Amino acid sequence: MPKKGMHSVGVAHQYCGQLGKNANCQALVSITLARDEVPVPVALRLYLPKQWARDPERRRRAKVPEDVVFRTKWQIALAEIERIMRSGIEFGDVLADAGYGACAAFRRGLSELKLKWAVGVNPNQLVYPKSVRVAAPERTRPGGRPPQRGKVSAAPRKAQEVFSTRAKNGFKEVQWRDGTKGPLSASFAAIRVRVADGPKVIGHNRGPGEEAWLVCEKRANGVRKYYLSNYPPDTELGTLASVIKARWACEQAHQQMKEELGLDHVECRSWHALHHHALLTMMAFAFLQHLRNAEKKAWAQRPTA
């Protein structure tokens, strides 16, 4: 029996992606590289909740290193991406779910690194029309401090509202790859917008930021998903859809590590033990990918009758 007060490191009542709701769990920030639907995880970092990061006794018992401080998940992810870039690894796109994509600072950080990104966002994500303009308000009286906030020519709208009035022919069926049961496809629509993550303006918390693609995916079951991307204005809808859906390979890798390799079948009470277990899981998955690729290559080179 575990001693009183001893818990697996980082366990807290927080959002659990596997359950889709809050629960007592650990949260790991994962970075996975993928090409041609072959994923290889390269980073798994424990997210240390505030109640852990700011509790000296908990930290001592779990042997959390002194230089580990509280960081949000997006801060951990961005730091890991920078670390990977410094190591010389090159990659084309950064894909992330709405847990990260909804954060303006995360998107801004990726852009500052000169990276292309396509990330999920919530239906309530606010955006401005591409044509919006910001003008300085007129002085209402002489003297005094000059006005600090501009005035926008149009109000922001929620992502779901942008596409709710679109006619049926505003969506286009896009096939992004062949699945085990046939071609995978869904209806997509995209429009250029300015995300409401800029400086504050009169009447609104945030004014228009950089221009981006707002993409809506309409699935066969009626569910709609929303995404933002900083891909160039001349990008075709099929390219946007293919990039967005490429995240499937990374999700599969994480799921396989949990279900097949025991990533979540352990209760580690120390920081180092947890990351040691995560590293062994990543190595095992990479080895399995090596075997799978070798088998594919052998199958492709088999003699034909």
Give the pLDDT confidence of 4-48 residue by residue, as tens digits: 444 688 888 887 766 667 888 889 999 999 988 889 999 999 999
pLDDT of residue 215: 97
Q: Enumerate the β-bridge partners of residue 152.
A: 134
pLDDT at 1 over 70: no
Q: What is the pTM of this model?
A: 0.87
Q: For 233-246, what is the mean pLDDT? A: 94
pLDDT at 103 over 50: yes
Q: For 150-165, what is the mean pLDDT? A: 90
Q: For 281-285, what is the mean pLDDT? A: 95
What's the pLDDT band for 302 if we cut at 50, 70, 90?
Answer: confident
pLDDT of residue 144: 58
What's the pLDDT band for 143 if we cut at 50, 70, 90?
Answer: low
More confident residue, 80 or 203: 80
More confident residue, 240 or 305: 240
pLDDT of residue 129: 95
Give per-residue pLDDT as tens, 172-202: 999 988 777 778 889 999 999 999 999 888 8
pLDDT of residue 110: 97
pLDDT of residue 36: 80
pLDDT of residue 104: 96
pLDDT of residue 3: 39
pLDDT at 2 over 70: no
Q: What is the percent of the chain where pLDDT is above 70? A: 91
Give per-residue pLDDT as tens, 120-137: 999 999 999 999 998 876
pLDDT of residue 84: 94
What is the chain's mean pLDDT, rounded?
Answer: 88
